Amino acid sequence: MKYNSFYAKLYLNLQSINQILFQNMIIYSRNRRLRTNAAIRALVQETTLTTSDFVMPIFVMEGINRQEPISSMPGIFRRTLDLTVKECQELFSLGVKAVNLYMKVSEDLKDNTGKESWNPNGLMQNTIKAIKDAVPGMVIMPDVALDPYSMYGHDGIVTNGKIDNDATNESLVKMSVSCAEAGADIIAPSDMMDGRVAAIRTGLEENGFTDVGILSYAAKYASSFYGPFRSALDSAPVDNQDVPKDKKTYQMDFHNSREAIDEVLKDVAEGADIIMIKPGMPYLDIVAKVREAIDLPIAVYNVSGEYAMLKAAAQNGWLDNDKAIIESLTCIKRAGADMIFTYAAKEAAILLNQ
């Protein structure tokens, strides 16, 4: 009791001394002064989100005048080419000036080479041409990877039970050149094969496409957040004992961050014009580290799983949909992104325009 009483008295004495010392103290620095009202907050706002920051991923399927909802991604559809063009026109009118294209390929066109991906009359090539004709100012970024065209659902060619890196690069070059011939502005290889940026850059240069850019998925992780996307294209790896069961031999291990810097620097050296980091919000530490390491533009992919989680929470009344969309995209830009690939691009553009 004596011990407790001593410290109680000491505490009271210190409190009295503090009151004497600081009762007339002026707080000269108050952060709250710059939060007083909306106008002041806008003046000192460090990060601004605009419609020009967005790239809208688009799913295209064969047929005419049809669209199919993707159940795990509310508000997102697979559309036929004619409706895709109309969607691109609407996006452009809202201020979204770039699209990222993905094809849902019929099973009879899939094989282990991905040869349909460089068919000059294929769905991808016809889609690029149609969008360019209808919306000449739209920046078109076709996804370059073999998984939608692969009978195995992998981004590369399977040889003896493994992904054949170098053979895959040859196919990626053919696909890239074919997309450039159709009118693509920027090639977006998402496959994560080693050396493919240099191979694609060489292929583009040799065929006269010196102005076609490369947006390299330099730090793409083997993530569990891709599930809704793979269901949208039926492009998940097949359950077959003769092929890898997942993509972990070529996509990055989510435990690693230093490796991401190494991947990025190699792609920069090989001629990439823009660097992609994927996924987005769970990997903002990677975005910030890469931003410190390079001066090239950085793209960040706000992936299907991130979108689906937000929508599910909003539908259950756990989040305010509109506020959460704008906040999440602003956080990605604040971390260092120059552009954001997001399924919420159209919705966010409408909100920002309001």
Between residues 245 and 274, which one has the greater pLDDT?
274
Domain assignment present for residue 98? The answer is yes
Q: Is 266 a catalytic residue?
A: no
Banded pLDDT at 22 (limits 50, 70, 90) = low
Domain assignment present for residue 302? The answer is no
Determine the Cα–Cα distance for residues 138 and 122; give it in Å rounded to an integer: 20
Instruction: Assess contact for 300 and 340: CB atoms under 8 A.
Output: yes
Q: Above 70 in pLDDT, residue 2?
A: no
Q: Above 60 in pLDDT, residue 260?
A: yes
Domain assignment present for residue 126? The answer is yes
Identified catalytic residue from 110, 247, 278, 289: 278
CATH number of the domain enclosing 184: 3.20.20.70
Domain assignment present for residue 211? The answer is yes
What value does the mean pLDDT take over residues 124-135?
98
pTM (predicted TM-score): 0.90
Determine the Cα–Cα distance for residues 345 and 213; give it in Å rounded to an integer: 22
Identified catalytic residue from 110, 220, 311, 346: 220
> What average pLDDT does the chain have?
93
Give the model's pLDDT for residue 244. Answer: 82
Give the model's pLDDT for residue 153. Answer: 87
46 known member of a binding site = no
Q: Above 50 in pLDDT, residue 236?
A: yes
Domain assignment present for residue 258? The answer is yes
Domain assignment present for residue 137? The answer is yes
Query: How do residues 85-118 score in pLDDT, each as one tens digit?
Result: 999 999 999 999 999 999 999 999 999 999 999 9
Q: Above 50 in pLDDT, residue 139?
A: yes
Give the model's pLDDT for residue 238. Answer: 77
Domain count, the chain: 1
Domain that holds residue 126: 51-263
Give the model's pLDDT for residue 235. Answer: 63
Query: How do residues 148-200 score in pLDDT, each as one tens digit?
Result: 999 998 999 999 999 999 999 999 999 999 999 999 999 999 999 999 999 99
Q: Which two structure tokens, joined as six digits, stand for 152? A: 């195995």
Determine the Cα–Cα distance for residues 187 and 209; give it in Å rounded to an integer: 11
Domain assignment present for residue 84? The answer is yes
Give the model's pLDDT for residue 1. Answer: 46
Percent share of the chain, pLDDT over 70: 95
What value does the mean pLDDT take over residues 289-315?
96
Give the model's pLDDT for residue 265. Answer: 98
| DSSP secondary structure string for all residues of 135-180 | -TT-EEEEEE-SGGGBTT--SSEEETTEEEHHHHHHHHHHHHHHHH
Banded pLDDT at 27 (limits 50, 70, 90) = confident
Q: Above 80 in pLDDT, residue 13?
A: no
Helix H or strand E segment including 353: helix 345-353
Give the model's pLDDT for residue 237. Answer: 77
Give the model's pLDDT for residue 93. Answer: 98
- Three-state secondary-structure class, residue 182: helix
Percent share of the chain, pLDDT over 90: 83
Give the model's pLDDT for residue 228. Answer: 85
Between residues 112 and 11, which one has the greater pLDDT?
112
Alpha carbon distances (Å) from 325 to 162, 262, 350, 351 = 39, 31, 12, 9
What value does the mean pLDDT take over residues 290-314?
96
Q: Above 50 in pLDDT, residue 32?
A: yes
What is the DSSP pairing of strand 77-80 with strand 67-69? antiparallel
Domain assignment present for residue 245? The answer is yes
What value does the mean pLDDT take over residues 297-318?
96
Give the model's pLDDT for residue 6. Answer: 73
Q: Is 245 a catalytic residue?
A: no
Determine the Cα–Cα distance for residues 79 and 72; give it in Å rounded to an integer: 16
Going by the DSSP 8-state scheme, the letter that residue 253 receives in this structure is: P
Query: How do residues 317-354 score in pLDDT, each as one tens digit?
Result: 999 999 999 999 999 999 999 999 999 999 999 999 98
Determine the Cα–Cα distance for residues 147 and 153; give it in Å rounded to an integer: 5
